[in-house]
Amino acid sequence: MADFPLAPGSTLGVLGGGQLGRMLALAAARLSFDVVILTPELDSCASRVAARTLLAEFNDEQALKALASAADVITFEFENVPAGVVETLERLGVAVAPGARSLAVSQDRVEEKTFLNACRAATVDFAAIDSAADISAALDRLGAPALLKTRREGYDGKGQTWVESHADAEAAFARIGGVPAILEARAEFARELSVIAARGRNGEVVAYPLGENHHENGILRRTRAPAIVSSHVQEQAEAIAARVLIGLDYVGVAGIELFEFEDGRLLVNEIAPRVHNSGHWTLDGCEVDQFEQHVRAIAGWPLGPVAALAQVEMENLIGAEIDRWPALIGEADARLWLYGKDEARDGRKMGHINRMRPLERG
Ligand SMILES: Nc1ncnc2c1ncn2[C@@H]1O[C@H](COP(=O)(O)OP(=O)(O)O)[C@@H](O)[C@H]1O
Ligand SMILES: [Mg+2]
């Protein structure tokens, strides 16, 4: 195992080659760390800014061995890497952060909500679903409509469907492909918020100011941060973040999605064991952004300051919206981040723009 703190010039391994890996690699380079990417994707957008790429499936034993011997610490930018991969890497004697447990918990929505409730981070009521009959049985307790989600591998609202009534149970189960699922009570939230938090190797926890998130078609459209919230809400979010990160013995940055209710109560929606799209505002709104923060945490460096320096509105550029770049690049008080993906497929995150204005005090 590597000695922490890692010395400048050390190597970080990253599982996944998407935009989060790209921005991690850019941040790592600023601190003199080299990044090796493991991805099955040819010419991935992270590879383009990394020192090296291992082009292989995540569970390719040879590639994992090569990664373990090249890297002083390994992390991931994509939480659906098979859990066995992290265990293999740990067996090969390389540090992985966050660890296998964080990954396993956040990969399965039932495990995730069970863990959250056990560490006093409340969620909506839910039931584990293995059949249409389970849906019918749970619907009386949870109320209709209720939201049916695949336990595993959903993202950007994929693998979800509303169950309107008992009569809809069979069809709803078929709509998500008849796979193991979770049925969730409908949250009648006032707003969606998220907290980006980090835990260092010394156990220190920090939380950025909250972001207010707006989704369209299941995809994050924009984040406004710092969100104007009561001190009660900010304190609850910080307490939730601390309980979750300590409960997972977490090292690194995590994104925690929250529902805020009219009365100021917060429920946790889900945890992402990685840097998070709703934290992109920190790139231009904070001294130390979420990517550098993650690098610092996994390298065993002290965490950096998380206070906001500006009010930021982050807008995702999805699919063909990227064609607006000539106008966006000329905008005043804004910074454009482009991910270097060649094909602007529907629903694909191609870049984002951060629009800045002076800080408001909530
Ligand atoms: N129980 C719920 N009640 C109401 N809306 C929900 C509920 N769960 C999720 N949603 C809505 O669906 C969106 C996507 O769900 P989420 O669980 O975050 O899945 P994903 O992994 O696709 O992001 C949430 O941001 C929220 O707007
Ligand atoms: Mg989500």
**What's the pLDDT tens digit per position in 138-196?**
999 999 999 999 999 988 889 999 999 999 999 999 999 999 999 999 999 999 999 99
The reported pLDDT for the residue numbered 119 is 96
Report which ligand 1 atom has the smallest distance to the Cα of 124. Answer: 1
Q: How far is the CA of 155 from the centre of ligand 1 (A)?
A: 9
Mean pLDDT of 30-52: 97
Which of the two residues, 360 and 307, has the higher pLDDT score? 307
Q: Beta strand 191-199 with 211-216: parallel, antiparallel or unpaired?
A: antiparallel
For residue 82, give every residue at least 6 positions away whose Cβ sits within 8 Å of its Cβ, in sequence order, or none.
Answer: 58, 59
pLDDT > 80? residue 1? no
Question: Closest residue (by CA) to atom 15 of ligand 1?
Answer: 157
The reported pLDDT for the residue numbered 8 is 97
Q: How far is the CA of 32 from the centre of ligand 1 (A)?
A: 38
Mean of pLDDT over the chain: 96
Q: How far is the CA of 290 from the centre of ligand 1 (A)?
A: 23
Mean pLDDT of 311-328: 97
Q: What is the pTM of this model?
A: 0.96
The reported pLDDT for the residue numbered 157 is 85
**Residues having C-beta closer than 5 Å to ion ligand 2:** 257
The reported pLDDT for the residue numbered 140 is 94
Pocket probe for ligand 1: among 269, 277, 316, the residue whose CB has the most ligand atoms within 8 Å is: 269
End-to-end CA distance of the chain: 45
Spell out which residues line ligand 1, taking CB within 6 angstroms. 124, 147, 154-157, 184, 186-187, 192, 215, 218, 257, 269-270
Mean pLDDT of 254-269: 97
The string of pLDDT tens digits covering residues 89-128 is 999 999 999 999 999 999 999 999 999 999 999 999 999 9
Amino acid residing at 190: A
The reported pLDDT for the residue numbered 5 is 98
Q: How far is the CA of 268 from the centre of ligand 1 (A)?
A: 10
The reported pLDDT for the residue numbered 362 is 55
The reported pLDDT for the residue numbered 218 is 87
The reported pLDDT for the residue numbered 232 is 95
Q: How far is the CA of 237 from the centre of ligand 1 (A)?
A: 18
Question: Closest residue (by CA) to atom 19 of ligand 1?
Answer: 157
- So where are the chain's domains? 11-96, 125-185, 191-357
Q: Which CATH superfamily is domain 191-357 in?
A: ATP-grasp fold, B domain (3.30.470.20)
Say what angle helices 109-118 and 100-107 make with each other, to 10 degrees. Answer: 110
pLDDT-based confidence at residue 2 (cuts at 50, 70, 90): confident
The string of pLDDT tens digits covering residues 205-218 is 999 999 999 999 88
Report which ligand 1 atom has the smallest distance to the Cα of 157. Answer: 22
The reported pLDDT for the residue numbered 154 is 86
pLDDT > 80? residue 361? no
Question: Closest residue (by CA) to atom 14 of ligand 1?
Answer: 157
Please state, in angstroms and rounded to a whole number, the distance separating the CA atoms of residues 53 and 56: 9
CATH for 11-96 is 3.40.50.20
Provide the β-strand partners of residue 194.
Answer: 211, 257
Report which ligand 1 atom has the smallest distance to the Cα of 186. Answer: 3
Report which ligand 1 atom has the smallest distance to the Cα of 159. Answer: 22
- Residues 38 and 62: beta-carbon distance below 8 Å: no
DSSP sequence for 76-95: ES-TTS-HHHHHHHHHTT-E
- Residues 349 and 221: beta-carbon distance below 8 Å: no
Query: What share of the chain has pLDDT > 90, as a percent?
Result: 94
Please state, in angstroms and rounded to a whole number, the distance separating the CA atoms of residues 53 and 130: 39
CATH for 125-185 is 3.30.1490.20
Q: How far is the CA of 269 from the centre of ligand 1 (A)?
A: 7
